[in-house]
Structure 1
Amino acid sequence: MEQRSRSFYVLSGFFCVFLLFLYGPTLTIGVLSFQGEKGGLTFPMRGTSFNWFRELFEQQAVGDIWGSFRRSLALGFMVMITTVVVSVSAGLAFRKRFAGSAVLFYFAITSLVIPSILVSLGVGLIFNQLGFKVHWATSGFGSQLTWTLPFGLLIMFAVFNRFDKSYEEAARDQGATSWQIVRHVILPIIAPSLIGVALFGFTLSYDEFARTLLTSGSYNTLPLEIFGMTTNVTTPVIYALGTFTTLFSLGIIGIFLVIVWLMGKRRARSGSDAGKAV
């Protein structure tokens, strides 16, 4: 058996510290959410219980937890669908060079390097100047797209850069129309990447704070509500909320991964059936 070098253990230790740095705060919140009924916001814990999770589903003295959760959920799906549709459309359009394509590309991704709070301020000011109401479903939706669309575009550009056009040519030789090629050839092939773009769009929107801060209007999204609760709530119910939202996010990611896995199995089965037919 080959003996491990000293550098292996050093790098492994560094990696473990890195994981602890990443997930330590989340694990701490998860542990503190199981405080006893007389527990506080810090260690040491005064017993263990599910009391604060029960409290989470009861009427709160401050905040609108479930209203903000529904708004974040709706906004996340709106952003996700828009990000997927625009990213795929732009990816298809940029497959061929056109006048101003490079300038348009850089304009599209510039928002990634602009401070988030400035984007939020700018979008809010534009809506005010135009006489439109600042609302989470309009101005908040627009400001979040400045964050999710560049990621979706970059993913789709990378996908189409390595896309094998011979599949399209074969479909065209069989008499398929442009729409049929997109629907029956291109979209099934890039489907796993579409799932990735959708996951990016939803999770980035669901967790977004700075770009929504000045564009949500009178109604908070969940990140804004949690931030507001940090100044009012003095019980571990806020930790229970943090644990719940973390598990919800992990659940969404798990669902997307299962979908990708099922699509891979279906494609492998289809390829096997086609091979047997030949």
Structure 2
Amino acid sequence: MSASALPAVTPEAPVLLREDGAGIAVLTLNRGPARNALSLALMAALQAALDAIAADPAVRVVILKGAGPAFCAGHDLREMRANPGREAVEALFRACARLMLTITRLPQPVIAQVHGIATAAGCQLVATCDLAVAADDARFATPGVNIGLFCSTPMVALSRAVPRKAALEMLLLGEPIDASEAHRIGLVNRVAAGAELDGTVREMALRIAAKSPRVLAIGKEAFARQGELALEQAYAYAAEVMTRNMMLADAREGIDAFLQKRPPRWEP
């Protein structure tokens, strides 16, 4: 990993960034006492870290996790009430939208490692990440309806990650679901015992990091774009993407390696 491309952080920073080996970057939300609520400072730090990662070709996969007892409790309600003016609120949600779009458009796959709670914008983070693994005691909710603030922005990611009625049940009832239900509806990919969460996520990240980073970036972008197209347009677009993909040296190397029954050697 190109350390010079990544921002330096201190132990007190709102987001911690470290290399976990084999091209894996680990981002840790670092407001544990506040359940990693998404303050403006935390979102700005996370945005800066993701921007740096996007520009670093040595990073092949990202793990997003939380310090302390929870993954993320959503927006910082105390900060929101202290700055109730329209301009401040608009700036907050613009920053959040930019952050979620950055995760979606990041060339590298992002895995959410979820423990404790993931509520409101924290649940939005999980739904936005490409993959998610949850501890078996994790809980998920979009509870804004209970406090007079419908989870409209979390709804965007949630409704694209789970079936319509499952999303509406979470949004309209505002009640938490457990990890097994989150897995059943497709909000998370896997559930692991708490003691095995780190190892389960790292093993998944290592398997992804072993793939061609160029092909991963092509595939992640294509997956997002084709989902916005009608069926016939999606096939036309996907055919063009596969044609470009086939022109890459990594595609030729991967096919040759398969035919020769040897591990592929991706370009650095």
Higher relative contact order (CA 8 A, sep 6+): 1
Name the TM-score, length of structure 1 as normaliser: 0.24
User: Which one has the largest radius of gyration?
Assistant: 1
Structure ranking higher in helix proportion: 1
TM-score (normalised: structure 2) = 0.24
Q: Which has the higher strand share?
A: 2
